[in-house]
Amino acid sequence: MAPIPSSDPARIQIDAVTLQRGGTRVFDGLSLVLEEARIGLIGDNGAGKSSLFRMLCGLDLPQSGRAEVCGLDIRTQRARLPGVLGLMFQNPDDQIIFPTVAEELAFSLQARDVPRREARRRAADFLAERGLAHWADRAVEGLSQGQRQHVCLLALLMSAPRVLLLDEPYASLDLPGQARLAADVHAGAQQVLVSTHVLAHVRHFERVIWLDAGRVRADGEGEAVCAAYEADVAARTGVR
Ligand SMILES: Nc1ncnc2c1ncn2[C@@H]1O[C@H](COP(=O)(O)OP(=O)(O)OP(=O)(O)O)[C@@H](O)[C@H]1O
Ligand SMILES: [Mg+2]
């Protein structure tokens, strides 16, 4: 991954946020400071992991409280957020807009003010560097779910924001894709937040947050938080 384009460490601050989605109050006074380089986000379906990521991108704004990403207020400086953070959506079809792979990748740069022609050239180079030159003109529609997820990841890696939000990024990737992503996450200079149900992907992280119905149930070193979640799941399900 490309280095962080600033020497300041990335920092996210969330203060007393209330977030309503449809008829559900997802967060009710959530506060967090996120400044570690690798942070895992775990918890049951509906716990609020995707909602947290969407809010940090300014896609869903809180009804009260405030949040800042690298000093940018998500409400008042929303338009500048793509310059500092990028989200890999849980569902690739929520992310992909353009018909071909090269156009989709180029757009991630154009969103960061790279001129179109330059963006197309860099997209082609980026694919070629990864042995995927033949993907450039492929129709996204003709790719499998995992391949589309891979395109989303490539778009994000290429634009190299200071903060990467990866929402269930391993869900559809094949084993080589998972191995490459784990290596990218490990080696990258960016701050990376990963939501996942596969605890092995975050257990070794310096920090893991367990969300439970929109609240922080545990927050600390990855090994301990994952073990606490597993114990709770075992107690609830009776399955060990
Ligand atoms: N599109 C939506 N419209 C309205 N409410 C939603 C929507 N998506 C999610 N919610 C609500 O927000 C709550 C949190 O959902 P969210 O998608 O953030 O959970 P999650 O932790 O990402 O779950 P999963 O593990 O299934 O991805 C859910 O309980 C649901 O009620
Ligand atoms: Mg989710």
Rounded to whole angstroms, the Cα distance separating 196 from 192 reads 13
Cα of 14 vs centre of ligand 1, distance in Å, is 19
Q: Token digits for 189?
A: 């200079």
In this predicted model, what pLDDT tens digit does every residue of 140-173 receive, in sequence order?
Answer: 999 998 889 889 989 988 888 899 999 999 988 8
pLDDT value at residue 113: 83
Q: What is the total count of domains within the chain? A: 1
pLDDT value at residue 189: 86
Exposed, middle or buried: residue 28 (CB in 10 Å: 0-12, 13-18, 19+)?
A: middle
| 231 lies in some domain | no
- Report the pocket of ligand 1 as residue ranges, CB < 6 Å: 21-22, 24, 26, 43, 45-51, 90
Cα of 180 vs centre of ligand 2, distance in Å, is 22
- Residue with the smallest CA separation from ligand 1 atom 7 is 21
pLDDT value at residue 7: 52
Sign of the Cα torsion 87, 91, 95, 100 reads positive
Paired sense of beta strands 72-73 and 64-69, if any: antiparallel
Cα of 92 vs centre of ligand 1, distance in Å, is 16
> Hey, which bits of 143-198 come out as E strands?
163-167, 191-195
pLDDT value at residue 4: 38
Q: What is the residue range of 156's domain? A: 93-160
Q: Which mutation among 30, 51, 168 tests ligand 1's pocket best, with the greatest number of atoms within 8 A of CB?
A: 51
Atom of ligand 1 nearest to the CA of 211: 21
Residues of the chain with pLDDT under 50: 1-5
Please enumerate in sequence order all residues whose Cβ is within 8 A of that of 179, keeping only pairs 6 or more positions apart, or say none.
none
Exposed, middle or buried: residue 94 (CB in 10 Å: 0-12, 13-18, 19+)?
A: middle
Three-state DSSP at 121 gives: helix
In this predicted model, what pLDDT tens digit does every residue of 65-97 receive, in sequence order?
Answer: 999 999 999 999 998 998 899 999 888 888 888
pTM of the model: 0.91
Q: Token digits for 172?
A: 């559809």
DSSP string, 38-80: EEEEE-STTSSHHHHHHHHTTSS--SEEEEEETTEETTTTGGG
Cα of 45 vs centre of ligand 2, distance in Å, is 7
